[in-house]
Structure formats: C-alpha cells, structure tokens
Chain A
Amino acid sequence: MSTAAQKPAGASAVGRGRLRGFVRAEPLAALSFVYLALIVLAAIFAPVLASHDPNAQQLMLRLQPWGGDHLFGTDDYGRDVFSRLVYGTRVTLQASAVAVGVSVLIGVPTGLLAGYRKGLVDAVLSRIFDGLMSIPGLILALTIVAVLGPGLTNAMAAVGLIFAPQFFRVTRAATQEVMGETYIESSISIGCKPTRVVLKHVMPNVVPAILVQISVALGVAVSAEASLSFLGLGVEAPTASWGSMLSTSAQTMTIAPNMVWLPGLMIFSVVLAFTLLGEGMRRALVSTGKNNDD
C-alpha cells in the first residue's frame, strides 16, 4: 500500500528543499562537493593564489624546508612547491576533464542508441565495447601516445577511450530501464517522434546515472594522470601536475619527504572526494523517483 502517511509531509522532493534534503541525507557527499568546488576555484585563480612563478628555478635555494618565503619549501630545482601545487591543480583537472569528456562523447550517445534501438544495433555496439574493455588499459594508452605523439592531452584522450565502455554500459542500462517505463510507451502513443522520445523523455531520466558515473570517473582520471605522469607519459617538463611532482620528488624522497606526500595528499583527497560525491549522488538519485509502489 502506498500510504502518504509513510512519507513525511516534507518529502516532496522538488525545488529548493531537495538540496537541503541532500545535504542532510548525504553530509559526506555534500562536504566532498564543497571541497571539490574549492579545488576548482584554486585552479581557476592559480595566478592569484600562487606566490611565485611555478617554473622559476632558484638553484641556490634547492630543497628548502617549510615556511619562510616558500610556504611548502622548494623542490630540487629550487622551484616553489606551493605554487607548483596550485598550478598543478589546473593541469591535473584539465587533463581529467579531457579524459572524462572523451569518454562521455563516445560512451553516452552510443549507450543511448543501444538502449533505445535494442536488437542488432545493441548487440553490435555491446560487442564492440566488450572488445574495447578486454584490451589492457595501459597498453592501449601507450599505443595511442606512440601514434599521436607524447603529451598529457593525448595520453588523457587515451584514458578517455579506456573509460568509454563504462559510460556506454551505464547509459545503456539506464536507457533500457527508462525504456521499460510506461511514460515512454505513453509518449509514443500520443504521437511523439523518436527524436523527441529520446531527447525529452529518455535523456532527462538517464542524466542522473551519467552524472554519478562522471564523478566516479573524474576521480579515476586524476589518479590515471598521476600514474601516466609518474611513468613520464604525461606532462613534459617543466610544467607541473600532481603526477609529475610526485614523479620528480620520488628521487629525493629521503631528503624532502614533504614533496612526496603533498601532491600525494592532493591526489588522494580529490579522488576520495569524487568517489564519495558519486556514491552520495547514486544513493540520493536511486531513492527518489519510484516511491509509490509499495
């Protein structure tokens, strides 16, 4: 039975009350969102925040400790670690956005098509993405970098290709679920054209699932950037990214440990925040919608 009594009166989850409800139900996800927003702001206002030119070398002032003129000290070229961290945020986030952007562009339209058309189209697309998934990610990335030439953007586009099957699967599954809803049949029965069915009725109800996947994928992309840059496939010197900072600092780990754990901490916290946000959204979006069927 679906008694209104079982739902508190304030649960009509539309509009402003919805945000407040989300904050109350998913405090960790909300906190993660605020943290990520601050990180993005830091990336945008990097020139304002940074105290030094991130690439300016001061060979006399190598591996300086904390405090003083250099807040987080200097690296083995005497560059300001704080400024490099701030500018590195920019590079890392941009690179992650490229990867996720590529995978969304590849995975979402194909997923929609497969879920909507079913049959042969679905079978063919599904097999293609299954095949893509079976190729080891790192080898695919290396191959693409070898073909397209080195550089972080190329490497991250390769990462995007590796992520694409995930987006395909999520979009396809969400589309199939929505296609089973009566309102799709209803929209066809009133005479909607297929494009309208997809854009007006399927898309808006698939977007939440994609948002969740985007958040999770951004987290993975950040660590992918770190791995690629660590292997020397990412940014080229002297540009700073979290991954490249981690890579160079590994050599001086025993003398200057702060240079390892600072970018490490950033990578860890941002990946965690994206994951928590994604999980929170998943729970929030799954629990709303269908609540009348018990």
Chain B
Amino acid sequence: MSALLEVKGLGKTFGGRSRLSLGRGKVVTKAVDDVSFTVTKGRSVAVVGESGAGKSTVGRLVLRLIEPDEGTITFDGVDLRAQSAEGMRQMRRRMQMVFQDPYSCLNPRMSIADSIAEPLVVHDLAGRAERDAKVAEMLDRVGLGSRFARRFPVELSGGQLQRVAIARALIVEPDFVVCDEPTAALDVSVQAQVLELLTQMQSELGLALLFITHHLALVEVIADDVLVMKRGRVVEQGPVTEVLRRPREEYTRDLLAAVPSPIPRVLREGQPLTAT
C-alpha cells in the first residue's frame, strides 16, 4: 500500500506586515502547526474541526494554493514544494479542488460548459470537438444533463452549481481531490445528493479524497481516516471507526456530543435510550 500523498510536518504562519504600509507591529498566528498524514489511492481522509482550526488551510497548503512555511508534501513521489511555478501548474491536472461556496466558485460570466471545459483547455488535453463531447459526458455523470451546457451560474441552484464544480474538477481525471466543506452551504437534502455523487465518483474513478468538514456525522459517511484539528494542531488521528467509536481526546468527544441526533428530543427524554 503506497501512499499517493504524504504530508510531513506541515506548518504555516500568517501575519507579519506588508512593506511600505504603516501597519502596527507584527501579529503572528500559527494557522497550521506540524500536521502529518498520508492518503492512499482510492481512499479518503477527513479533516474535522471548528472554524479557525486551520482545516481549510491544510487543504490549500497541500495544493500550494497557499505557500507552506514548513514541512514536506510528496505527491506520487514528487516533492511538491520543490516544484517551479510551471512545474506545479502541470501537477495541478492530477490534483483538483472542490470549494465550499458553490455560488462564488464559478466565474459568473462563463457558461457552464466553458467552466467545465476550462481544465482541459489550460492543460491542452483535447480538441474542440472532443472537449464538447467530454463536457456533455461529465454533465450526464454528475446528473445534470447537457441542457445545462449553455446556461450561466446565476440560473442554477446551489446544489446544481456544486455538481458543476465537481464536473469541472473531475473532467481531467485527477488522482486526488481536496473537498473543502463542499456541502456546508447546501440544504441537508441537497447535501445528501452531493455526498452520494462524490462517493460514487470516488469509487468509479479510484480517487483519493481529502474531505474537510466541521460535521463529524459526514466523516462517517465519506471517510476512511480522520484528523481532528484544534487551533492549527492535530489532536487526534486514525481510522474513522476507531476515532468515532473510541475517541481518546476530550475535544473529539465534545465534537461528537454536539452532532444533533435525528431522534426527537421528546422521545430521547421521555424514555431512556441505548446510546447510538
């Protein structure tokens, strides 16, 4: 079992002041501190924590959308931090990202078809006709259909936009996708649809996922391994079944306790229940 992505001692400090501006003194916050994990092909790792825990930053550091200060990131044997800008740009075909806010992750002035086809264009992967065919195929696979091709983002609902974002990320057949709270802005019913689509695509394409969420119940649905983060540091990590069933840390237990139960309170308090 060889690791597709191996992250060691990842760290990022935000702050400092920009040159030429008359700022106050240096404000330093360690957003991510000594984070290590591996993702193997076809598996998914979840990163959970509250807002401000640094979980989204981890996702961006791994893809070098934010430059890390410390640590190594090895992707399929390639040291990502050693890559030049162009080398990194080439690598991006194999590692994609799905963002939290579906309403702002697509250029409002580009048609749905153009947005989905863009990764093919920038990596020069297909001719015009082949591109159109691939876009039509992706639209079908994410459950939208080619009638959406000529529409613009304002015409779509949040759930539909997130499907477009998934199609855009997957059209270049990547090996690895970072999903940054992809369902946090969606209704619960639509969230279930998007998660269903993601798990289905994952098994069809053998994707490795880094799934970032604040919702522990989603971790159980989608992930194999989990990292629990608090204030930039990993407080607990391991297989999902281990961490959720037998949490070692107080913080993990707090997070677990906060997940709302679908059993109506009146029933829970009326009769004693066995713990679920």
Residues of chain A whose beta carbon lies under 8 Å from any beta carbon of chain B: 2, 4, 12-14, 118-120, 123-124, 127, 181-183, 185-193, 196, 200-201, 204-205, 288-293
**Contact, CB under 8 Å: B93 / A182:** no
Q: Which of under 10, 10 to 19, 20 to 34, or 35 or more describes the interface residues of B?
A: 35 or more
CA distance A120 to B18 in the complex (A): 8
By beta carbon, the residue of chain A nearest B109 is: A204
**Contact, CB under 8 Å: B97 / A186:** yes
**Contact, CB under 8 Å: A189 / B108:** no
**Contact, CB under 8 Å: B107 / A190:** no
- Beyond A2-B158, A119-B19, A123-B20, whether A190 also contacts B118 by CB under 8 A is yes
**Contact, CB under 8 Å: B99 / A293:** no
A120, A123, A192: which contacts B122 (Cβ < 8 A)?
A192
CA distance A190 to B101 in the complex (A): 17
By beta carbon, the residue of chain B nearest A292 is: B103
Q: Mark B102-128, 1 if CB is under 8 A from A, else 0.
A: 011111111000000011001100000
CA distance A187 to B24 in the complex (A): 33
Apart from A12-B155, A118-B18, A182-B99: 8 A-B pairs, beta carbons within 8 A: A183-B105, A186-B99, A189-B96, A190-B122, A190-B168, A204-B107, A204-B109, A292-B103
The answer to whether B84 has its CB under 8 Å from any CB of chain A is no
B183 to chain A, nearest CB (A): 15
- Beyond A12-B154, A120-B19, A185-B65, whether A191 also contacts B93 by CB under 8 A is yes
**Contact, CB under 8 Å: B118 / A187:** yes
Number of A-B residue pairs having CB atoms within 8 Å of each other in the complex:
83
- Beyond A2-B158, A14-B154, A182-B104, whether A191 also contacts B99 by CB under 8 A is no
Interface pairs (8), CB distance under 8 Å: A12-B155, A186-B105, A186-B168, A191-B93, A192-B118, A200-B107, A201-B107, A204-B107
CA distance A289 to B155 in the complex (A): 11
**Contact, CB under 8 Å: B154 / A291:** yes
B18, B90, B119: which contacts A123 (Cβ < 8 A)?
B18
When distances are taken between beta carbons in the complex, the residues of chain A under 8 Å from B122 are 190-193, 196
When distances are taken between beta carbons in the complex, the residues of chain B under 8 Å from A193 are 89, 122
CA distance A200 to B106 in the complex (A): 12
A174 to chain B, nearest CB (A): 13
